[in-house]
Structure 1
Amino acid sequence: MLNADMNVEKWKNVLRSNVWNGIMPVLNLSYQNLPPHLQPCFAYSSIFPEDWRIEPDKLVYMWMAQGLLRPQEGRSMRMEDIGRIYFDDLLSRSFFQKLKDHNGNYYVMHDMIHELAQSVSKEECFRIESDNVREIPSTVRHLSINTDALLQLTSICDLKNLRTLVFFSYNHSIGSDVFKQLRSIRVLDLTECKMEQLPKAAGKLIHLRYLAFAETPKTAPSSIYRLYYLQVLDVSRSRLPTLYPKGMLFPEGMDKLINLRVLHVPGAFTSQIARIGKLTSLQRLAVFRTSKKKGRKIVELQNMNELRGSLRIMNLENVHSMQEAAEAKLNRKEYIKKLRLEWHYSEETRSNDDQILEGLQPHPNLEDLKIISCSGIRSPTWLETNWLSHLQSLTLSCCRSWISLPPLGRLPHLKFLEISRMYAVKKISFEFYANGSLKGFPLLEHLRFDRMPELVEWSQPEEYRAFPSLCDVQFKNCPKLTDEAFSSCLQTLIRLSSLEISCCHRLISLPSASVLHHLTTLKELDINCCENLASLGGIHALTSLEKLKLMDCPELLASVIIGEDNYDRGFLPASLASLEKYRAFPSPCDVQFKNCPKLTDEAFSSCLQTLIRLSSLQISCCHRLVSLPSASVLHHLTALKELDINRCENLASLEGYMRLLPSKSSN
C-alpha cells in the first residue's frame, strides 16, 4: 500500500488507524489507497472464478471495452499499453500474483484478494456458480457464469442493462432470446458455450466491443459486420473444420469493422476477409495470403501501419512486379518485429522474384526475418547493407538460384543465422563477412548451414577475426564440404562451445591440432553420418571438450583413432566426460560407442586411458572387440559409475573390468 510513498506522516497515520483488527480491513485500506483509475479495474476482476488463471491481455481488452482505461495526457500510447501498465501496477501491489509451472508464467488472485474484489464490486459484478441463484440484483452490470446447472438465464436476470456477460463453464447453447435482450452489452465471451451458430440477433449488439466464441462449425451471421464498435474478435479457441457449408467462416462486409484492433482467428481464415486493408486499426495479422483477386492483393497491407508482432506473407508468386510489392509499404510498419516472406516452392527460376523481394523492403526496426523459396538469382540490396540495423535473427531457405550470399556480416546485432537449401551456393567468400573495416558478425551466436549440396569452399583470411561471439555451429547435409573449407571456418571461433557435423560425406579428417587448439571453449562435439570420416585429427587439442558423440561414421578406423602424430598421452582430451559412439567412435564424461564394427581392442584401450572424468560408458555393436582393456588402463577411470555393453558378439573377456569391482556397477 505504501511501498512507493516515503511520507513519514502517512505511515504513522496508518499505524494509528483502526484497521488492524483482522486481515480484511487491512486489505480494504489497501484498496482505498489505490489510485482512482485502478480501483474500477481491480473491482472488475471479481468476475473471474477463484483460482482462475487470468490472461493479462484478455483482461486488458475487457477493461478497454468497458472504457476503464484513460489516455495519458501529453503521451501518445495505445490503449493496450496503458492497460498493461495498469495490470503491472496492480501486480506490483500484490493484487495479482505471478506464478510459474511447466507451461510458463501465469497470474491468479489470492483467495483473500479475490474476496476483497467481490466485496468492493458487489453492486455491479456478480458470479453465478450454482443453480440456487433465484434473482440477480438490478444494479449488476457485469455477470459471469461458471456452472452447467443454469438453464434459464432470462428468468433470473434483467439482461438489458448488462455490459459484461462471460461464460467460464456452460455446457448449453445461448438462444436468440438472450441476444435480443443484451442491448447494452460491451463484453460477450461465449467461449465455453455450445454454440452451433451465432444468431442473427448478434448483429444488433451495437455497443459490443469484445466478442469471443469457440464452437462455431458454421459461418458467422451476415449481420456481424454491423458491429461497428467491435474492437476484439476472438475465435482462437475454435475447433474450426476445414470446410464450411458456404465455403467460408466470415461473410462479406467484414471490412466495415473499422474499429477492430484484435482479430484472433486461425491464420488460414484471415484470407477470407476481402478488403482487409480497410481495418487500419488492426494490431495483429498472423498470416496474409496474397492473391490475384481484387480485395485480396498485397496492396491491402498498404495502410495497415498499426500491425505489430509477427507477420507472415504467403503466396508471393501472385505479386507481379516490384511496384506492386512496394505498395504493401512494409518499410512503414515500424511495429512489425518478425516477418516471414514466402513464395510457393518452384524448381524453376521466376525472373521477377528478385524485383518483388526488392520491393518488400522492411522497416529497419525489424528483429526477425525469414525469406522462404524466393526463386530469383540474387539477394535484395537492402540485405546487402546495414539497413536492418536491429535484425537479430535471419533465415534464408530454399532460395535455390542464389549463387552467392549477401554480406550479412554488416548486420551489427545479428545473433542467429540459418542458411538452408541454397542449392546454387558453392563458396562462402570474404564478401560474406562484410568489408575489412568491420569485424564480421560481431554478435552472431548461432550459425546453421543445412542442405547445401554444392557448398565446397570457405574462404577466410587468417588475419581476419570474424565471428568473435559465435558459440554454436551446425553443418548438416553439406556433402561436398571439404576438409580445407571446414578447417578454414573453424580457425577463428575462439568462443565456440557446441559443434555439430552431420551428413558431410566428403570430410575425411577433422582439422589438425594447430587449428583445434584455438577452440578452448568447445564442450560438445556431435559427428553424425559422415561416411568417409576416417580421422579425428587433432581432437586431443580440445582441452575443454566434455561430450563427444559419434554416429554412423563407419570409416573411422582403428589405425587413425590413435590420432595424429601418435599422441602419446591419448588421442582424446582428458576433459572428456561423455562419449557416445553409434556406428562410429565417440567421447568424455558420457561416452557411447555404437555400431563401430572396426573398432579394435587397441584403439578402444587408447581411447579410454586419459578419460579420468568418465562416469558413463556404453558399447554397442562393436563386433571386433574381444576384450575390455586391462586393469592398468581402467584403474584411471575413477569416476566411472555405469557400464553398458550390448551386442558385442566377439567380446570374450571382462577381466580388466572385473578386477575393479565392487566399486563399479554394470548393466
Structure 2
Amino acid sequence: MAAALVGGALLSAALQVKLKEKLLKKRFLIVLDGVWNAKPDDWELFCRPLQIGDQGSKIIVTTRHETVALKVGTVETYFLKELGDEDCLRVFAKHALLSRSAIQDQNIHVIYGEIAKKCRGLPLAAKALGGLLRSIPSKSSFHKSQFMMHDLINDLARDVFGEFCSKLEDKFSPPVMEKTRHISFLRDNYDLDLVEDLKMAKRLRTFLSLNLLWPFLASTSQEVPVDHLTVLTCLRVLSLNDCYEIKRLSKSIGNLIHLRYLDVSRTSITKLPESVCTLYNLQTLKAAKCASLRKLPKNLRRLVNLRYLDIRGTPLQQMPKKINKLVNLKMLSTFVVGKNKGSTIQELKEISKLHGSLSINKLQNVAGSADASNAKLVDKEFLEELKLNWDGTTGLKDSQEEINLLNNLRPHENLKKLSLHYYRGTRFPNWLGNHSFHSLTSMSLNCCRYCNSLPPLGQLPSLKVLEILQFDELVTIGNEFYGSSALKPFPSLEILKFICLPAWTKWHSLRDKSFPCLYELHIENCPSLSDDLPRQLQSLVKLVIRDCQKLAASIPKAPALQEMEISNCDKVVLKEIPSNLESFKVKGCELMQSTFKALEYTGSRLQSLEMSSCSRDIMFPQLKLPSSLRKLIVQDCEKLVIPTEQPNKTIEWISISESCDSLVSFPMSMFPNLSYLFLKGCKALTSLLLSQNCLQFPILYSLSIVNCPAFVCCGNFSAPNLTHLLISGCKSLISLPENMDFLMPSLQTLIIYKCPKIEYFPGGSLPSGLAELQIGYCDKLVANRSDWNLQRAESLEIFSIIGRCENVESFPDDDLLPANVAELFIDGFVHLKRLNGKGLENLDSLRSRYT
C-alpha cells in the first residue's frame, strides 16, 4: 500500500482513508510533537488527507531542528529559548524531591549541577530525570542505577553513554568497539556483519534484536548468530524476541552467569536447555507465544531470583515441579496444572507476592477441591486479574465437586478482572457476585456449558463490563441475576454482552430499576429468546441484536441511543427511529421494510445506514434518501432501487455490493460531495454517469469498481484529492480515465486487476506522486509495457505484476521501472526464464523482491 512516513512510522493508504473520513468538513487542530525528520515527499503525502478539513484548521509542529521547521512551516518559525542551568537544576530538584539542604551540599550540587547542564535547557528532560532519580538515596546507588530514557532526552542519553551504546540500525550511532556495552539492531538490515560486531564487543552487557517486519516476512530477515552471543559472558540483557528462525538455544547459554533478562518470545524453540537453570542472577524470563515449546526446564526452581515469568500463549503441558520455590516471583503470567504426578495447583501457595494477571490452565487436572484451597488464591492481595480455564474437551463429571473446586479458588477481594472458561459445574458458588468484591470491574463467563443459572452479579458495586458467552443450559435469566441488594442492581455496569445462548428463552427485567449506567448492550446468537427486553435504558448509546430469530420484543426506549444494529431478527418491532440515532445497521427483509416505514413517519438524525440481505422489491420512501444521511452501505439487496432523481449534497460515502441489479449507470453528478465510492457485483452497471454541470469531485479520495462484468468506462472527471483507484474483475472495461496526471494529481495507489481488454494506460502520463502500482491478469496491457512511461512516476515505491504473460521470458525490461522502486512483486509468468539484471540495476532503493 502507498504510505506516508511520519515520525519514522508508515501512515498506510488505509489509514489515510480513515483519517480523511474523520476530518472531512471538520475544523481541527493537530499537534505533531517532536518531529525529527520531514522529507518533502513524505510531508506532502502526510498532508494530503488533511487538505479536506474545514477552513480554519491548523497544524502545530514542534521540533528541535530548524531545517524541519523550514521545510514544513507556512508561517514564521517561533523559537523557544532554553532554560538556564540554575533554572534547570530547580526543575530537576523539584521532581527529584531534593531538600534545600541536599542541593546546598557541595558534592551533591556538583553531581546534580552537571546533570542539569546535560539537559541543555530542556525542562522535560530535567523533569524526566528528576522523576527517575526520586527514589535514589545516595551517590553510590545513583551510579549503579539503570534508567529508561524518554525519546526527548535522546541527546542526553547519547552524551552519557557515548561510545558504550551502538544502535546498528542507525548510521549515526557509534560503531561497535571493544568498549561497546549495549547493542540493538533491526533485523531487516542486510548490510550488517553481526558475527564480526559481536567478536569486537567482548564485554557486551545488552543485546536487543528488533523485528519490525510482519511475522510472515520473518524468514527474509537477518538471522541472529545465537552461538556467538553465548560466549559473551558479561551479558546482562539478551532479547531474541521475534527471532522466528531460532529453533534451539545452545546449552552454552548457561555460561552467561550475569544474565538478568532473557526474552525468547515468539521464537521457534522446542525446548529451553537445562543450563538456563544455572543462571542464578536471572530476574526476568520471557517465553511468550512460543508455538513449539511444550515444557520448561525441570530445574526451573533453582532460579531463586526470578521476579518475572511470562509464558502467555505458549502451549505448555504442565509446569515443572517445585515451582513453589520461586517465592520472589511478582509476575507469573500462566500456571498449567499437571496431570497425575505433574505439578499441582498447591504449588501456588508459597508464591504470595504475585501482581498483575495470572491465568491458571487445565483446572480439570486438579485432584480435588482441597488442593484448590491450598493454592491460597484468597491471600494474593496484589493480584489484579485472574483467569480460570478448564480444558473444554472433557464432559461433566461430578457437578458438586466442580462447584466445591471453584468455591475454593476464591480470589482476594482486591481483584479487578475475572474470567472463567469451560467451567463444568451446573451452578456457581456463592462468592461469585458477592458485594464484598468492591474492586471488580470486569467479568467474563465463557463456555460454562452446564450452568443453568447465573450468580447475583447485580450486587457487584464496581462492575463495568460483563460478558456471558456460550451457556448451553441457561433457559431463564431471572431475579437471581440481580441479587437481593437494596441498591439498584448493576449500579456501575456500562457494557453487557449475551452471546451464543441457544436455550435462553426468557429475560425477566426489573423495569426501570436496573442498569442505570448501561452504555452498550449486545444480544447475539440467542435463537430461542422470544420477548421481554428491558423497556427503558436511559444511558444506552449502542445496541446490537443479531441472530435472534424468535425475538418479538420492541426496541428499548433509549433517548441517548446513537448506534444500533439489528441483524436476522425479523420479528423485532421497530416502530420509530430513535431521535438521536446516528448509525443503523439492518439485515433482513422484514426489518428493512419496517425501517423504511419508520423513516417515512419519523424524523431522524441518521448519518450512516447499512442495509443487507434482502431479495424483495424495496425502495426508499418518497424515492429519496434521508436528508441527514452521509454514509450509505448496501449489500446483497438485488432488487433495491437507489434514489437518483434528485441531487444529494449530504452523501459522502457510498458502498454498493452485490445489489441494485437494475442500476445501469451510476449517477456521479447526483452526489457532488462524494468522498468514497465502492461498487461491487453490480451486474448491469456499464458506466459512471456524468453531466456537464458536474465534472469535478473535489473531496473524492477513493474509487473502487469490482466484479462489474458489463462496466465499460469511467469517463473523464476531475478528482484532485483522489488517492486510491481500484478497478478489478471488469472484463468489458476498455479504458481508464484520460489525463490522470492532470485530473487526478494526488493519486497514490492504482490497482488494475482482471481487466483483459485494457491495452494501454491513458493518454498523458501517470501522476508523478503515484506510490503503488499493481497490475494483475491484464496481459494485453503488459504486452504494451514499453509505452507505460513509468520513469515519470518519480514517487513509485511499490510495483506488483501478476499474470500468465505467455510472451514474457525476461523481466523487468531495461529502464522500465523508476529508480525509487523499493518493493517488487512478480508472479504467475508461465514462461519467465530470468530476471533482467539491467532492468534491476538502477533500482537503488530496492529492499524487497518476491518472484
- Structure 2 length as normaliser, TM-score? 0.56
Residue 805 of structure 2 is matched in structure 1 by: none
User: 1:331 is paired with a residue of what secondary structure?
Assistant: helix
Q: How does 1:57-206 map to 2 (within 5 A)?
A: 68-69=144-145, 87=148, 96-97=150-151, 109-110=153-154, 112-119=155-162, 125=164, 127=166, 136=178, 142-144=181-183, 148-149=192-193, 151=195, 159=202, 162=203, 164-166=205-207, 173=225, 179=231, 182=233, 185=234, 187-189=236-238, 191=240, 198-206=249-257
How far apart in 1 are the matches of 2:135 and 2:478? 62
Q: How does 1:262-281 map to 2 (within 5 A)?
A: 262-265=308-311, 267-269=314-316, 271-281=318-328
Residue 550 of structure 1 is matched in structure 2 by: 586
Deviation, 1:458, is 1.7
Verify: 1:3 aligned to 2:91, yes or no: yes
Kindly indicate whether the alpha-carbon contact (under 8 Å) linking 1:470 and 1:495 is maintained by their aligned counterparts in 2: yes
Of 648, 651, 662, which residue of structure 1 is paired with 2:660?
648
Letter paired with 1:482: S
Kindly indicate whether the alpha-carbon contact (under 8 Å) linking 1:501 and 1:527 is maintained by their aligned counterparts in 2: yes
Deviation, 1:284, is 1.9
Residue 650 of structure 2 is matched in structure 1 by: 639
Kindly indicate whether the alpha-carbon contact (under 8 Å) linking 1:176 and 1:199 is maintained by their aligned counterparts in 2: no
Of 515, 521, 538, which residue of structure 1 is paired with 2:575?
538
Aligned residues, how many? Answer: 547
Kindly indicate whether the alpha-carbon contact (under 8 Å) linking 2:641 and 2:662 is maintained by their aligned counterparts in 1: yes
Residue 613 of structure 1 is matched in structure 2 by: 628
Kindly indicate whether the alpha-carbon contact (under 8 Å) linking 2:317 and 2:338 is maintained by their aligned counterparts in 1: no
Residue 607 of structure 2 is matched in structure 1 by: 577
Aligned pair in 2 of structure 1 residues 654, 28: CA closer, same or farther (>3 Å)? closer
Letter paired with 2:418: L
Letter paired with 1:475: I
Describe the superposition over 1:538-581 as per-residue Cα deviations: whole angstroms up to 9, x where unpaired.
224x1111111111x233475x5675xxx8x8344422222221
Deviation, 1:523, is 0.8
Deviation, 1:301, is 1.0
Verify: 1:231 aligned to 2:283, yes or no: yes
How far apart in 1 are the matches of 2:573 and 2:227? 73
Verify: 1:498 aligned to 2:547, yes or no: no
Residue 592 of structure 1 is matched in structure 2 by: none
User: 1:225 is paired with a residue of what secondary structure?
Assistant: helix
Aligned pair in 2 of structure 1 residues 448, 643: CA closer, same or farther (>3 Å)? closer
User: 2:275 is paired with a residue of what secondary structure?
Assistant: helix
How far apart in 2 are the matches of 1:436 and 1:155? 70
Aligned pair in 2 of structure 1 residues 156, 447: CA closer, same or farther (>3 Å)? closer
Verify: 1:339 aligned to 2:371, yes or no: no
How far apart in 1 are the matches of 2:413 and 2:198? 55
How far apart in 2 are the matches of 1:260 and 1:654? 66
Deviation, 1:406, is 1.0
Residue 326 of structure 1 is matched in structure 2 by: 373
Aligned pair in 2 of structure 1 residues 651, 412: CA closer, same or farther (>3 Å)? same
Describe the superposition over 1:112-159 as per-residue Cα deviations: whole angstroms up to 9, x where unpaired.
32332135xx6xx3649699979736xx8x4547694364679757x5
Verify: 1:209 aligned to 2:251, yes or no: no
Deviation, 1:371, is 0.9
Letter paired with 1:3: V
Describe the superposition over 1:192-244 as per-residue Cα deviations: whole angstroms up to 9, x where unpaired.
8997755555435544433445767464443332332322234458xx5627x
User: 2:611 is paired with a residue of what secondary structure?
Assistant: strand
How far apart in 1 are the matches of 2:592 and 2:184? 71
Residue 310 of structure 1 is matched in structure 2 by: 357
Kindly indicate whether the alpha-carbon contact (under 8 Å) linking 1:154 and 1:178 is maintained by their aligned counterparts in 2: no
User: 2:277 is paired with a residue of what secondary structure?
Assistant: helix
Paired-residue identity, %: 26
Residue 528 of structure 2 is matched in structure 1 by: 480
Describe the superposition over 1:601-627 as per-residue Cα deviations: whole angstroms up to 9, x where unpaired.
5xx215957x32123445565555679
Deviation, 1:296, is 0.7
How far apart in 1 are the matches of 2:632 and 2:177? 72
Verify: 1:222 aligned to 2:299, yes or no: no
Letter paired with 2:378: N
Letter paired with 1:149: D
Letter paired with 1:117: V
Moved more, 306-315 or 412-421: 306-315
Letter paired with 1:597: R
User: 2:600 is paired with a residue of what secondary structure?
Assistant: coil
Letter paired with 2:607: A
How far apart in 2 are the matches of 1:442 and 1:281? 39
Q: How does 1:410-425 map to 2 (within 5 A)?
A: 410-425=459-474
How far apart in 1 are the matches of 2:464 and 2:378? 22
Kindly indicate whether the alpha-carbon contact (under 8 Å) linking 1:148 and 1:171 is maintained by their aligned counterparts in 2: no
Aligned pair in 2 of structure 1 residues 171, 375: CA closer, same or farther (>3 Å)? closer
Describe the superposition over 1:298-341 as per-residue Cα deviations: whole angstroms up to 9, x where unpaired.
11111111222111111111113221111111111122211111
Deviation, 1:446, is 0.5
Verify: 1:242 aligned to 2:292, yes or no: yes
What's the C-alpha RMSD, in Å, of the aligned pairs?
A: 4.7
Aligned pair in 2 of structure 1 residues 116, 571: CA closer, same or farther (>3 Å)? same
User: 1:3 is paired with a residue of what secondary structure?
Assistant: helix
How far apart in 2 are the matches of 1:480 and 1:366? 35
Deviation, 1:465, is 1.7
Of 424, 427, 449, which residue of structure 2 is paired with 1:378?
427
Aligned pair in 2 of structure 1 residues 300, 624: CA closer, same or farther (>3 Å)? same
Aligned pair in 2 of structure 1 residues 624, 402: CA closer, same or farther (>3 Å)? same
User: 2:407 is paired with a residue of what secondary structure?
Assistant: helix
Deviation, 1:499, is 0.5
Deviation, 1:525, is 1.1
Residue 256 of structure 1 is matched in structure 2 by: 302
How far apart in 2 are the matches of 1:210 and 1:441? 44
How far apart in 2 are the matches of 1:224 and 1:171? 22
Kindly indicate whether the alpha-carbon contact (under 8 Å) linking 2:582 and 2:606 is maintained by their aligned counterparts in 1: yes
How far apart in 2 are the matches of 1:211 and 1:653? 63
Letter paired with 1:537: L
- Structure 1 length as normaliser, TM-score? 0.69
Kindly indicate whether the alpha-carbon contact (under 8 Å) linking 2:92 and 2:130 is maintained by their aligned counterparts in 1: no
Aligned pair in 2 of structure 1 residues 364, 28: CA closer, same or farther (>3 Å)? closer
Deviation, 1:509, is 5.5
Residue 77 of structure 1 is matched in structure 2 by: none
Kindly indicate whether the alpha-carbon contact (under 8 Å) linking 1:373 and 1:397 is maintained by their aligned counterparts in 2: yes
Aligned pair in 2 of structure 1 residues 171, 439: CA closer, same or farther (>3 Å)? same
Letter paired with 2:205: T
Kindly indicate whether the alpha-carbon contact (under 8 Å) linking 2:319 and 2:336 is maintained by their aligned counterparts in 1: no
Verify: 1:467 aligned to 2:543, yes or no: no
What stretches of structure 2 of length at least 5 have no aligned partner? 1-87, 107-112, 186-190, 211-221, 673-690, 698-702, 706-851
Residue 591 of structure 1 is matched in structure 2 by: none
